Structure 1
Amino acid sequence: MVAWADYKSDAKSRGALALELYAVQSTPAGAPEDVKAALPDHLAYQAQIEASGHLAFAGPMSDETGDHMQGMGLIIYRADSLAAARALAENDPMHKSGARSFTLRRWMINEGSLNLSVGLSTKSVNLS
């Protein structure tokens, strides 16, 4: 097993991006009505941390077949530390209420791409 700091240093020395983000896998822990009840506060919280720059991506995930929703969600945070990311997850009303539980992991982004198209005259944005 390699220490996280050593791996990050090695990745940077190879020229990788080595962008450290934090991945939360959120799963239902209570009854479906508990999740529904917490949803408005959860969405408001997500909007708040997105506006503050701490929310990179969030959304539901399918089951392994890709055909059905299983209630699992994935949230990617930008934070200064694992402890700061944990605080973001713990303060999410879904987790705070017990409607959902979560696991948290560091995620190092080394490769990949995003495509962003901004239509100035049409005032449109396309991310792919």
Structure 2
Amino acid sequence: MSNGNIESQKIVELCESKGFLAKKLFTVKTYSAGNLDEVLANVEEHLKFQVELERKGIMFAAGPVFTEDGEEWDGEGLVIIRAASLEEADRIMASDPMHSSGARLYKIRPWLLNEGSLTVRISYSDGKREII
């Protein structure tokens, strides 16, 4: 057994052979460049950008990440996107107004979605929807 790293393609092949989803996505950790006033000044344009990514089918999920105790927000966020390559993911994230303004910095990592589920409940009578 190796004590080093394993080639990512071997992990993909293993997951696929076991019947897992093996959906290739990209996680983006975004964090304040040091000035939360700048982050807040760019929130409106950032949110418009995020909604546009969602509309285009690029956005898988996104939202703020709170401090460990859940009591505060220091400007950190997590974004998961669909992209054909790391380079494409970087182009997408670089065009986010939050990043292009310098208010936030980001780190991208390829991610393999294998396990989990999504349950959506829609009530026909009142149009209410809930993600469980």
Q: TM-score interval w.r.t. the shorter chain? A: over 0.9
Distance in 2 (alpha carbons) for counterparts of 1:70 and 1:94: 14
Unaligned runs of 5+ in 2: none
TM-score, structure 1 normalization: 0.93
Structure 1 residue 37: deviation in Å?
Answer: 1.8
TM-score, structure 2 normalization: 0.90
| Residue of structure 2 in register with 1:108 after alignment | 112
Distance in 1 (alpha carbons) for counterparts of 2:72 and 2:43: 20
| Residue of structure 2 in register with 1:10 after alignment | 14
Quick check: 1:28 aligned with 2:32?
yes
Structure 1 residue 33: deviation in Å?
Answer: 2.0
Equivalenced residue count is 128
Query: Any residues of structure 2 matched to 1:1-128 within 5 Å, and which?
Result: 1-128=5-132
Secondary structure of the equivalent of 2:90? helix
Q: Percent of counterpart pairs with the same letter? A: 35
Structure 1 residue 121: deviation in Å?
Answer: 2.2
Unaligned runs of 5+ in 1: none
- Would you say the 8 A contact 2:81–2:89 is kept in 1? yes
Higher strand share: 1
Distance in 2 (alpha carbons) for counterparts of 1:5 and 1:65: 36
- Alpha-carbon RMSD across the aligned residues, in angstroms, is 1.2
